[in-house]
């Protein structure tokens, strides 16, 4: 009997956590205010972590907390207190890349430890080393293929996790310090300035000519068609990158990969027209061109994203449902402007989206709103099946 | 202070030996990120160097390998003469583990990537038990921290004294798509208008593509402080430069303490490294608006919408704390203002008056002057 691999989604804040869980993620990974790699993102306070864990557990999902910076001694001083908090609230695992942090976690808690991809674990021997350090799961480097991951799992006896979707660091993770030297920001403690996405003028020594190119930026990973390979290889967890990305992203990737995984487990194949629908959905969220990168064979020249950074997305979320009064209205928090008469799409937890033409848009004091403003609350006609945290979106103009 | 230098031919070796260096790094292409010697050449070269019996020959094995490549490599290494090397320098934990199990030489452990805390360094060292003969520390560690580490560890430390600073390492070939040149090794440089620096050196070889800092690291101006911090070995890494012409300047700077000639002859400028100070987390504070970072104590929720001088809507978020008519709340605006107000009346989204509300609900009340969207709401302890 086939066992589904875990779908592990990113959650940059509490709303995204709830969205990811409700749309089908088996687990989410989040960051506290310190110790992670996303200093610019919102991250979770103590109470938010507690609330997030309770919410996820109520919905049979797990919460992993990232502590994956290459921490300095001063960072470690306050870590034990945070660890005992995480243990008390029932966090399911911590994701760590630094051996000092691993040792601290083991000394001060019984938390399960997952090795972050930041440690670039690439082979069986390396996995055995980390196993000896008390790690239960390794998030393998993005350079590792599915067959290699299967072998690492078999030979090391560890759980393995591979990335299945999202932006990719071009460097071996943990092996890029461009920001440290050029921007004064430690990329291994959350300060990456994404210098690999810049346009460069390149002079090759023997070529005499200058070339302008985006030569060190990676396309985004998309592994949906490889779900059969992941499952048959017994890969324990499939991770989606993107704690900094939107609720639309967290919701869509959770929903799409959940549906595809469930389909494969039920039918033993992905030979269905739905695959086109799922791929279409993954084009509706912000993304660069997609690649399977190194999931089957080492990433080649076609994995380089040679364009200027720009948002490629077909759909935008215009609101998140906050409350519903059946038969009357949905109260939504507006994320992008829309007007009465527009047709919006409700993204339910499962299944196809539902279109609705708006007969009215009113503010919360019930006055008509000719054009909604982002960051405000409005009432729109009730939509069958709408629930708090459902996303409402429309095609980009 | 003892010196170690990578050498690739007998001329480089002779020069460094004459200048008093007694420890040499040998870098085969298959094993070292920047290696230039075939496996056989490397072991023959090591053997020839060892004719002088006061030298230590160290094999550099710092490339990273995914599983398939690693198993192929291990197969190829069956015929490699490891015995000619006195010590092995490793970086990837997989290689480290393999060397521990399969070879007997002392291990020099390269911890230059990350490892910015004592606990990490101690644990790496203790895994190698008595086999670890040296720890190569991150160039990002400041001197005062190294001094502290010295007191807690008895394994000798090494730092890069002079050489190119590696910024980026990927297994992907990034330069060949730009060129018709089919050679295995491609070199060049890159500059970007989006970066405050220009002239990043580039190298593509069988291990992938590397980018280097435009300025090289030199600790030669601070050599006394480096020694005082307890660093016993200094790496003089001239592998990307004209060894014959520059090595004498390096040694003369080390002997005289004067670096002017070295600086004027070195092809790029120097960066003094992070040895004096490392402030690469100083900018983090600016990366987010701390005023809207939620403080946990008494946190109630967030202002979702405001109709000025009329109404505002608050989403209640904390399970333990509800809100009732008559409560006093404190509101912290994104601009940093704090407003305190007793709440007389609460409404739900249908406009009906309610006496209290709990987490998950959105409540409406009279707008408090100056309060804007995204303000954080706290329950006040005193009225
Ligand atoms: S600059 Fe690019 S390659 Fe470097 S750490 Fe950031 S995302 Fe990764």
A183 CB less than 6 Å from ligand 1?
A: no
Dihedral pair phi/psi, residue A314, rounded to 5° = -90, -25
Q: Does residue A259 share a domain with residue A161?
A: yes
Q: Is B94 on the interface with A (CB under 8 A)?
A: yes
With 90 as the cut, is the pLDDT of residue B29 above it? yes
Interface of B with A in 218-237 (CB under 8 A): none
Quote the ligand 1 centre to A37 CA distance (angstroms). Answer: 11
Whole-number mean pLDDT of chain B? Answer: 92
Q: Does residue A386 share a domain with residue A264?
A: no
Q: What percent of chain B has pLDDT over 90?
A: 81
Instruction: Look at residue A380 and tell me if it is in a domain.
Output: yes
How high is the pLDDT of residue A69? 84
Instruction: Render pLDDT for A190-235 as a digit per residue (tens, 0 to 9).
Output: 778 899 999 999 999 877 789 999 999 999 999 999 999 999 999 9
Of B113, B120, B307, the CB nearest to A100: B120
Domain that holds residue A133: 6-175+218-299
Q: Does residue A335 share a domain with residue A222?
A: no
How high is the pLDDT of residue A49? 94
Boundary (domain end) residue, out of A273, A299, A325 = A299
How high is the pLDDT of residue B233? 98
Boundary (domain end) residue, out of A275, A299, A323 = A299
With 70 as the cut, is the pLDDT of residue B289 above it? no
With 80 as the cut, is the pLDDT of residue B281 above it? no
How high is the pLDDT of residue B382? 56
- Long-range residue pairs from B13-18, CB within 8 A, at least 24 positions apart, any chain: B13/B49, B15/B243, B15/B244, B15/B247, B15/B248, B16/B236, B16/B247, B17/B52, B17/B55
Quote the ligand 1 centre to A26 CA distance (angstroms). Answer: 28
How high is the pLDDT of residue B284? 52
Q: Does residue A385 share a domain with residue A247?
A: no
Q: Does residue A295 share a domain with residue A222?
A: yes
A76 CB less than 6 Å from ligand 1?
A: no
Instruction: Look at residue A93 and tell me if it is in a domain.
Output: yes
Quote the ligand 1 centre to A217 CA distance (angstroms). Answer: 9
Of A202, A92, A301, the residue nearest B202 (C-alpha): A202
Q: Which residues in chain A have their CB less than 8 angstroms from residue B64's CB? A: 120, 122, 172, 175
Q: Does residue A149 share a domain with residue A54?
A: yes
A268 CA to centre of own chain: 26
Tokens of B2: 């003892």
| B340 to chain A, closest Cα gap in Å | 22
Of A251, A252, A221, the residue nearest A238 (C-alpha): A221
Q: Is B352 on the interface with A (CB under 8 A)?
A: no
The answer to whether B365 touches B347, Cβ cutoff 8 Å, is: yes
Asked whether the beta carbons of residue A125 and residue B294 sit closer than 8 angstroms, the reply is no
Q: Does residue A350 share a domain with residue A224?
A: no
Instruction: Look at residue A264 and tell me if it is in a domain.
Output: yes
Q: Is B121 on the interface with A (CB under 8 A)?
A: yes
Q: Which residues in chain A have their CB less than 8 angstroms from residue B299's CB? A: 45, 47
Instruction: Look at residue A33 and tell me if it is in a domain.
Output: yes
How high is the pLDDT of residue B126? 95
How high is the pLDDT of residue A74? 86
A218 CB less than 6 Å from ligand 1?
A: no
Instruction: Look at residue A34 and tell me if it is in a domain.
Output: yes
Quote the ligand 1 centre to A277 CA distance (angstroms). Answer: 32
Enter the ipTM: 0.93
Averaged over B325-353, what is the pLDDT? 92
- Point out the ligand 1 atom lying closest to the alpha carbon of residue A171: 3
With 60 as the cut, is the pLDDT of residue B174 above it? yes
The answer to whether B133 touches B155, Cβ cutoff 8 Å, is: yes
How high is the pLDDT of residue A38? 52
Nearest CA to ligand 1 atom 2: A196
- Point out the ligand 1 atom lying closest to the alpha carbon of residue A217: 2
A169 CB less than 6 Å from ligand 1?
A: yes
With 60 as the cut, is the pLDDT of residue B21 above it? yes
Of A14, A45, A99, the CB nearest to B120: A99
Q: Which residues in chain B have their CB less than 8 angstroms from residue A46's CB? A: 296
Quote the ligand 1 centre to B123 CA distance (angstroms). Answer: 27
Least confident among A75-84, A172-181, B70-79, B279-288: B279-288
Q: Is B351 on the interface with A (CB under 8 A)?
A: yes
Best probe residue, ligand 1, of A69, A120, A194, A288 (max atoms within 8 Å of C-beta): A194
Q: Which residues in chain B have their CB less than 8 angstroms from residue A186's CB? A: 140, 280-281
Q: Does residue A329 share a domain with residue A293?
A: no
Q: Does residue A376 share a domain with residue A228?
A: no
Q: Could you give all domains of chain B from N- to C-terminal order, each with its CATH number?
A: 2-163+215-282 (3.20.20.70), 166-214 (no CATH), 288-379 (2.40.30.10)
pLDDT band at A70 (very low <50, low <70, confident <90, very high): confident
How many Å apart are CA B16 and CA B374, to the nearest integer? 65
| A279 to chain B, closest Cα gap in Å | 26
Of A45, A73, A148, the CB nearest to B117: A73
Averaged over B189-214, what is the pLDDT? 94
Q: Does residue A350 share a domain with residue A388?
A: yes
pLDDT band at A34 (very low <50, low <70, confident <90, very high): confident
Would you list the DSSP string of A90-156? T--EEEE--HHHHHHHHHH----EEE-GGG---SHHHHHHHHHTT-SEEE--TT--HHHHHHHHHHH
Of A129, A178, A388, the CB nearest to B94: A129
How high is the pLDDT of residue B275? 82
CATH assignment of the domain containing A244: 3.20.20.110
Beta-strand pair A220-222/A159-166: antiparallel
| A124 to chain B, closest Cα gap in Å | 7
How high is the pLDDT of residue A207? 72
A171 CB less than 6 Å from ligand 1?
A: yes
Strand, helix or coil at A262? helix
Instruction: Look at residue A289 and tell me if it is in a domain.
Output: yes
With 80 as the cut, is the pLDDT of residue A36 above it? no
Least confident among A133-137, A355-359, B162-166, B180-184: B180-184
Structural domains in chain A (count) = 2
CATH assignment of the domain containing A350: 2.40.30.10
Asked whether the beta carbons of residue B349 and residue A325 sit closer than 8 angstroms, the reply is yes
Best probe residue, ligand 1, of A191, A196, A217, A244 (max atoms within 8 Å of C-beta): A196
Instruction: Render pLDDT for A252-308 as a digit per residue (tens, 0 to 9).
Output: 999 999 999 999 999 999 999 999 999 999 999 989 999 999 999 999 999 999 988
Instruction: Look at residue A212 and tell me if it is in a domain.
Output: no
Residue B174's DSSP bridge partners are: none
Instruction: Look at residue A171 and tell me if it is in a domain.
Output: yes
Boundary (domain end) residue, out of A249, A274, A299 = A299
Instruction: Render pLDDT for B104-134 as a digit per residue (tens, 0 to 9).
Output: 999 999 999 989 899 999 999 999 989 999 9
Q: What percent of chain B has pLDDT over 70?
A: 95
Q: Which residues in chain B have their CB less than 8 angstroms from residue A214's CB? A: none
What's the CA angle centered on A50, arms A49 and A52, to 5 degrees?
Answer: 60
Averaged over A24-34, what is the pLDDT? 93
Asked whether the beta carbons of residue A202 and residue B178 sit closer than 8 angstroms, the reply is yes
Q: Does residue A260 share a domain with residue A362?
A: no
Nearest CA to ligand 1 atom 5: A176
How many Å apart are CA A199 and CA A225, to the nearest integer? 31
Strand, helix or coil at A209? coil
Quote the ligand 1 centre to B137 CA distance (angstroms). Answer: 22
Give the CA count within 13 Å in the CB-facing half-sphere of A371: 2
Q: Does residue A236 share a domain with residue A371?
A: no
Of A267, A257, A217, A237, the residue nearest A162 (C-alpha): A237
How high is the pLDDT of residue B383? 44
Asked whether the beta carbons of residue B283 and residue A185 sit closer than 8 angstroms, the reply is yes
| A218 to chain B, closest Cα gap in Å | 10
How high is the pLDDT of residue A186? 77
Averaged over B207-223, what is the pLDDT? 96
A178 CB less than 6 Å from ligand 1?
A: yes
Quote the ligand 1 centre to B104 CA distance (angstroms). Answer: 37
Quote the ligand 1 centre to A120 CA distance (angstroms). Answer: 14
A178 Cβ contact partners less than 8 Å away, ≥ 6 residues apart:
A187, A193, A195, A196, B167, B168, B211
Return the H-helix or E-strand segment holding B45: helix B39-49
How high is the pLDDT of residue B280? 63
């Amino acid at each position: 009997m086939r066992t589904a691999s875990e779908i592990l989604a990113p959650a940059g804040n509490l709303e995204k956590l709830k969205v990811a869980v409700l749309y089908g993620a088996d687990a989410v990974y989040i960051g506290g205010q310190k110790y992670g790699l996303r200093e610019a993102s919102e991250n979770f306070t103590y109470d938010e972590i507690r609330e997030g864990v309770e919410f996820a557990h109520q919905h049979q999902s797990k919460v992993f907390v990232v502590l994956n910076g290459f921490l300095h001694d001063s960072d470690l001083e306050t870590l034990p207190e945070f660890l005992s908090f995480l243990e008390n609230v029932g966090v399911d695992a911590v994701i760590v890349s630094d051996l000092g942090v691993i040792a601290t976690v083991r000394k001060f808690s019984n938390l399960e430890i997952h090795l972050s991809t930041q440690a670039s674990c690439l082979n069986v021997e390396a996995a055995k080393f980390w196993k000896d350090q008390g790690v239960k799961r390794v998030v393998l480097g993005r350079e590792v293929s599915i067959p290699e991951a299967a072998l690492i799992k078999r030979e090391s006896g560890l759980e393995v996790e591979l990335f299945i979707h999202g932006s990719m660091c071009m460097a071996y993770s943990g092996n890029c310090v461009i920001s440290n030297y050029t921007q004064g920001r430690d990329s291994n403690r959350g300060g990456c300035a994404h210098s690999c996405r810049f346009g460069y003028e390149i002079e090759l020594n023997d070529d005499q000519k200058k070339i302008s190119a985006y030569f060190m930026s990676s396309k985004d990973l998309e592994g949906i068609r490889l779900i059969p390979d992941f499952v048959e290889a017994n890969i324990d967890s499939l991770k989606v990158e993107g704690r900094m990305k939107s609720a639309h992203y967290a919701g869509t990737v959770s929903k799409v990969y959940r549906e595809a995984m469930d389909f494969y487990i039920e039918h033993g194949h992905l030979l269905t027209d739905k695959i086109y629908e799922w791929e279409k959905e993954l084009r509706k969220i912000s993304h660069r061109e997609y690649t399977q990168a190194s999931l089957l064979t080492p990433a080649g020249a076609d994995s380089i994203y040679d364009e200027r950074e720009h948002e490629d997305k077909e759909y935008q979320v215009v609101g998140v449902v906050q409350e519903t009064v059946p038969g009357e209205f949905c109260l939504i928090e507006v994320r992008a402007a829309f007007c009465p008469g527009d047709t919006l799409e409700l993204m339910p937890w499962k299944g196809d989206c539902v279109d609705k033409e708006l007969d009215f848009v009113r503010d919360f004091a019930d006055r008509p709103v000719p054009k909604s403003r982002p960051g405000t609350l409005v009432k729109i006609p009730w939509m069958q099946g709408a629930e708090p945290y459902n996303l409402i979106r429309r095609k980009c103009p | 202070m003892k010196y170690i230098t990578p050498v690739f031919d007998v001329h480089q070796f002779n020069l460094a030996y004459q200048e008093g260096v007694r420890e040499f790094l040998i870098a085969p292409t298959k094993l070292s990120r920047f290696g230039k010697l075939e496996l056989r050449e490397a072991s023959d070269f090591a053997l020839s160097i060892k004719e002088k019996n006061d030298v230590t020959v160290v094999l550099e094995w710092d490339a990273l390998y995914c599983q398939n490549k690693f198993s192929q490599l291990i197969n190829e290494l069956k015929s490699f003469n490891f015995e000619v090397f006195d010590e092995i320098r490793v970086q990837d934990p997989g290689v480290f583990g393999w060397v521990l199990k399969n070879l007997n030489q002392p291990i020099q452990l390269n911890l230059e990537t990350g490892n910015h805390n004592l606990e990490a360094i101690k644990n790496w060292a203790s895994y190698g038990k008595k086999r670890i003969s040296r720890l190569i520390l991150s160039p990002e560690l400041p001197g005062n921290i190294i001094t502290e580490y010295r007191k807690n560890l008895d394994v000798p430390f090494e730092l890069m004294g002079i050489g190119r600073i590696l910024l980026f390492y990927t297994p992907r070939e990034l330069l060949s798509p730009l060129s018709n040149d089919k050679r295995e090794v491609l070199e060049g440089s890159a500059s970007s208008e989006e970066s405050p620096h220009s002239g990043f050196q580039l190298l593509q070889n069988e291990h992938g593509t590397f980018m280097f800092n435009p300025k090289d690291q030199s600790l030669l101006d601070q050599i006394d402080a480096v020694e005082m911090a307890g660093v016993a070995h200094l790496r003089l890494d001239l592998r990307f430069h004209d060894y014959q012409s520059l090595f004498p300047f390096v040694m003369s700077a080390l002997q005289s303490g004067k670096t002017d000639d070295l600086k004027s002859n070195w092809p790029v400028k120097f960066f003094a490294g992070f040895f004096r100070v490392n402030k690469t987390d100083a900018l983090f504070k600016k990366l987010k608006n701390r005023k809207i970072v939620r403080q946990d104590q008494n946190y109630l929720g967030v202002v979702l919408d405001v109709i000025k001088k009329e109404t505002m809507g608050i989403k209640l978020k904390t399970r333990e704390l509800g809100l009732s008519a008559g409560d006093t709340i404190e509101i912290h605006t994104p601009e940093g203002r704090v407003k305190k107000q007793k709440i007389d009346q609460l409404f739900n989204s249908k406009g009906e008056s309610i006496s209290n509300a709990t987490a998950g609900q959105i409540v409406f009340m009279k707008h408090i002057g100056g309060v804007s969207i995204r303000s954080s709401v706290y329950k006040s302890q005193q009225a």
